[in-house]
Structures are given as C-alpha cells and as structure tokens.
Structure 1
Amino acid sequence: MATASAQVQRQALAKGLYELAYSPHQNAVFVASSGGFGPDAAPAKVLRLSPQTLAVEREIPLERKAFGVTLDDAGGRLYVGNTVDLSVTVVDIVNSRVVGVVQLEEKVAAKDKDGKDVQRYPRDLRELAVDAASKRLFLQGHGGANGSVLYVVNTETLKVEKIIPGLGNAKAPGLAFDAAGQRLFVTNLLGELITLSTRTLEITNRVKTEAEQPLNIAFDAATQRLFVTDQGAENIRAFQTRSIPGFTSKHPGNRVAVLDANSGKLVHSIPTGAGPMGILLDAPRKRLYVTNRAAGTVNVYDSASYAPLGTVSLPTHPNSLALDARRNVLYVSVKNGPNDPKDAPESVARIGF
C-alpha cells in the first residue's frame, strides 16, 4: 500500500500557495504564492525549493498575484497565471527573473453587486498549458454569463495571438494538452468536454459527458483516456441549479470520471475522498494521484486496473500536484482552512514512494 511505503515531509512556506511544478533541468520545485488577500497580504512571488528538503533556495518577486503555473522546462520558463488581473507573468527560471507580463484582456464597464458602475476584467483565469514546439501558451478565461474562452499567446512575441470563444456560458476549469494529437481538452460546468485543435485554433468537438462537476484533467496518450476529477461540491451544485436552465443533479461526484478522449463516453468511475481536485498521471508507472480538498487526503490508484493503492493524509486542503518522475517523488501544495490560524503560512509536502 502507498500509505505504508510513502515517506512524507512537509514545510510551511508562505501565504496563498497554489500550483507548483518540478523542473528536471533545474532540479528544483517552483511554487506560486499569491501572498494572500486583504490589507495584510504579503507580496506575490514564485518560490524555488530544494526538491530534497523543501527549503527555499530563491524567491522571485512578482508584481501580480500568482495562482496557476505551467512549465516549459527545456525553454527555462515558468508561466504564471495572474487570475485576478487577467494576465500571465513569464518567469525565466534559469536566471530567476521576470521577463514579461502579457495582459490578456482589458477592463470593461460593469455593475457591482450594489448596481454601481465599475471597471473590471470580463473573465478570470484557471489552468495553463504550453506547447513549446509551436511556441504557444494556452489559458482558459472563465466567463460564466460572459462566456468562457481560450486565450492563445505567442511565447516569442508575448502577444495574444487569438481569443477562441465558445467554451460555454459557465466556468470552464479543466485543461489538458495532447502534444502528439495537437489538441486541447477543456471541461466546463455544463458537463461538456470540448476539444480544440492546437494547429487550426478551432473547436473540433463538443460532447455532453456524465461528469457533472468536471474540474481538472489528466490525459493518458497511450490509452486515449481522460481522468477527470468530478467534485460533487454542494456550493457548485447550488450554483448549477441557479444558473443552468433545467439542471438536475444526477451524480453525487466525489469521484474520478474516466472518459474516452475521442467520444467523451464514460469508461469507468473511481470513488475518491471528498472534494477531489488536483489530478496527475504517472503513465510509465501506471499511477494516478488525486488530491481530495475536503477530505484532506491524497489518493493513489493503479491507472490500468483502477484499484486503490493507498491514501496519504495531508490536512487541511491538499491542492495541486507535481512529480519528479525519475525519483518517484510527488509534491503537493497544501492550503489552510477557516479553522487554521489566520496568519499561518501554507505548505508544500514531499511524498517519496
């Protein structure tokens, strides 16, 4: 069992930790820190960590709050999503410096909750994916009623190349890149799986799936399967009931929905802990890792048989995942909850198998 053999280290680091990445070229872990929110928020930064001890080797200051990340390791770049500023910060991880910020859209006139006129961004961000071969970065813009979109950024010019509409009038949280197939997979809270060509930059397929609250995606190229965390959160279900005409909940979630990547049909359903969120596939070892935000655990599965292999406890809220594939070491960002001390830093865990 994974619980018996896993060696867990954990290090409290900074406020507002979100996604992280492991760089084989740099032999380092990079984690985004938003600094938190409110008047006492700390400055945003990217932390470079020792992969063995999780000690901070370097801090790279950012002007904008950091959330999602994706890594072009060969190119020596970490792309950092600035969700609340609708932009992306480009970090040179070789020289530990920011090389640019790309504004994806400008603010527009809107109404606040009290009906007052304000200026705000029409969307926010979630996941990022980089196609180093085509020199493109892809990011989802959550639009809700405004419509979710995909931003395409040229990584040479650091300019927006195209904004692709049509990801649904709902949050579109999941994103996975199929390099060989030159396509992207996107999920939304309408339960849809949308496929886009990274060659033509057009939507090529849209299907309704059995995943009710699809969140994050892991793609298995060898078997053409998508592993999708299906959350089952009550607040999301309430939002869907209010905002989607005729919505009726048909599945309690708390699972990984395994979908055929080409048809979107359900292949298998894997029960998880409460609130599955992050997901990562180690295809050569046939291992699937899932963070359960509400349960405070990480599940380990055999990706071929779907058998559970163990559970690692990481309270309060394990969030995102990164893997050192050569050493078989998993890194997890762990967020605080409302019952944790208000000013306590959040942490990163290292799980050696």
Structure 2
Amino acid sequence: MSDPDRRRVFVACSRDNAVTALDLDRAVPVWRAGVGREPIPIVLDKPTERLFTADARSDTVSVLDAGTGDRVAQIPVGAYPAGLGHDPGRRRLFVGNTAGGTITVVDTDRLTVQGTVPAEPGAGSIAVVPGSGRGYCANFLAGSVTVFDADTLQPLGRIAVREGPCKVVADPAARHLYVANSLHGTISRVSLDSDAVLDEVPVERAPVGMCVDAAGRRLYVCNRGAGTVSVLDTGSGRESHRIVVGNAPGDCALDPVTGTLVVSNAGSGTLTFVDRPWLPAGPAPRTEHPLVGQPLPDFELPDLRGGRIRTTREWAEKRYVINFFASW
C-alpha cells in the first residue's frame, strides 16, 4: 500500500506481527508498529490518515496512525480475516473472514462494526467499484466471487471462477474485475457491466497479488510460486513480459508519481523496487551451475514405506527422476 502524498509505502510483516512504513524515495524504514497476529492486507484511509490491517490469527482489524504508527484501535471481526476492501465514499471498510465465510462491515470514522454480509467459504480479498455501489469478494475455498451491494449489505450474486481465487482488483477504466486464481495459475477477466467471465489469462505459478495502473492499461501480477511479476496488457488480455523479483512475491503497489512498482517478497523478507516496470528488461545472461554434467553424488534416504534406507547406488546406470517436494 503506497501513500504518494507522504512518499511512503506500508508493508504488512505477517511473520513479525508488525507493519513497517518506508520512505518511497530513499527506500529506508520510517517507523515500525506492532499489530495483531499475522497481518495480511493493508488499507489506507486518506480522510482520517489511518491504516487498517486484517490480523488473520487474532480475528481483529488493527487501526494505526499513518503518520506515526501509533495504534488507534483494534476491532474484533470474524474468523481469520484475510482480506480488506475499502469504500472511502461510503466511509466503509469490508473485511473478508476466511474461516467464517462472511464479510464484516466497519465504519472507518467511528471504528464500529455496522453489519455482516454473507459470502462463501474462504472469503478474503475484496474490491469495491467506486461509484457503482457494488463489491466483490473472492472466496478461496468455494472457487467463486460473491457480488454484494455496498449500501444495503445484501448479496447480489455469485461468479464462478477457477480454483483458489485469492485476490480481486477492480479496474473501472477498463470496466474489468481481475481475479487471481492461485491454484490454477490464471487471471480471470470479468466484465463489471455483466459480471460475466470474459476470458482467462495464464501466468506463472500461484498468482496471489495484483495491482493495476491508474490508466487501466496494465495489470501487474505477483506469481508467488515463481518469484516473478507478470505484466498483462488489459486491452488484449495478453502477457507482455515478466519481471524477476525476490522469493515468493505476495503483493505489489504502484507509485503514481514515479511509476515505480514496489513488490513485497514474503519468502525473502525484502522489497523489490522496479523502475519503469512497463518496459521489458533485456535478456538475462545465461549461466550454468558448475555441477551440471558432473556425476550425481552418492546419498541415501529412508523409504517412506517401512523406513528402509535407499541409496543412489541401487539405480546406477539407470534413468530416473528425483522429486524434492517442499511447500511454499
């Protein structure tokens, strides 16, 4: 989440239960504040200069002063809040409660809960379309998006998408809603006029975060499983190029003043600043690891069935595939 007026970017540090503010121009920390357990998304409310974080493992929303990082309030919401949607015109914050399958509605001025919207299992990321009165909530476990009325807090419909939708971004300029299907490795483009799925764009592994530029021309997609950002042309729906960033990029934000793309890398605990991200980089030099072409070193591992020790010598002179599996 960026604040171009203050020249700051705010980062949710989920593993440290904190929020860090950094200077956008110098890329240095300004302040760091503790919040609830496992903060995931951040929303900045400019009229009040307050930050809101959804603290997934605390079932709360923390409210901070954006200038100082001082805690203003902590609001109880639903079970495992993992997504936030902001409607500054209606002075409302929408909280997607993943374990509860609901959306909690918070008054951003009074910091009180106004109501609850029914969604589906895995409710998380939320986008509210400015001026339309319509909100969209990604339901990770249900493979769907709940459409709701931001005024009456009533559900309006359901959009079926692919597996594991974990982020929604509205693009009023292009009249599209973008849905990151993390388990399917695609981005669904949905019409904001008809709520119909227009097409799917393949990206790399586990897309989880997105942002769109102000003109609605380009969508930037964080591919957590690949360590890259896909750059999509919103007109054609095609990927123009990819940007290599840090490990497990979780989300991104654009600085509207300089156009710099800021990417938070959850796996490496770093930020990547990309200058002119709309331009493809030159070809990277090809490097070969020094062990390529060398004999495989001997090693041994216990068999999962029975615990018998198996060694590479058993398959000498044979072709085989070794699959080292790890969760990201």
Alignment TM-score, normalising by the size of structure 1: 0.73
Higher relative contact order (CA 8 A, sep 6+): 1
Q: Distance in 1 between matches of 2:46 and 2:3?
A: 6
Q: Distance in 2 between matches of 1:61 and 1:85?
A: 13
1:157 to 107, 110, 113: 110
Rg larger for: 2
C-alpha root-mean-square deviation of aligned residues, in Å? Answer: 1.8
Where in structure 2 are there 5+ consecutive unaligned residues? 277-328
Deviation by residue 1:216-255 (Cα, 9 ceiling, x = unmatched): 11112133211111122xxxxxxxxxxxxxxxxxxxx211
Contact 2:145 2:161 in 1 (8 A): no
Instruction: Confirm or deny that 1:179 pairs with 2:144.
Output: no
Q: Distance in 2 between matches of 1:84 and 1:164?
A: 21
The count of corresponding residues between Structure 1 and Structure 2 is: 275
Alignment match, 2:265: 334
Question: How many angstroms does 1:285 deviate by?
Answer: 5.5
Q: Distance in 1 between matches of 2:38 and 2:144?
A: 30
Contact 1:172 1:187 in 2 (8 A): yes
| Structure 1 letter corresponding to 2:92 | R
Alignment TM-score, normalising by the size of structure 2: 0.79
| Structure 1 letter corresponding to 2:149 | S
Secondary structure of the residue aligned to 1:68 is: strand
Question: Cα–Cα, structure 1 residues 60 and 304, in superposed 2: closer, same or farther, change >3 Å?
Answer: same
Contact 1:210 1:265 in 2 (8 A): no
Counterparts of residues 1-353 of structure 1 (less than 5 Å): 21-34=1-14, 36=15, 42=16, 44-62=17-35, 64-105=37-78, 123-143=79-99, 147-165=100-118, 167-168=119-120, 170-188=121-139, 189-207=141-159, 209-232=160-183, 253-284=184-215, 286-336=217-267, 346-353=269-276
Secondary structure of the residue aligned to 1:84 is: coil
Q: Distance in 1 between matches of 2:35 and 2:144?
A: 35
Alignment match, 1:5: none
| Structure 2 letter corresponding to 1:190 | A
Q: Distance in 1 between matches of 2:40 and 2:161?
A: 29
Q: Distance in 2 between matches of 1:215 and 1:67?
A: 12
| Structure 2 letter corresponding to 1:258 | R
Taking only the aligned residue pairs, the percentage that are identical comes to 25
Contact 1:151 1:160 in 2 (8 A): yes
Contact 1:25 1:74 in 2 (8 A): no
Where in structure 1 are there 5+ consecutive unaligned residues? 1-20, 37-41, 106-122, 233-252, 337-344
Question: How many angstroms does 1:262 deviate by?
Answer: 4.1
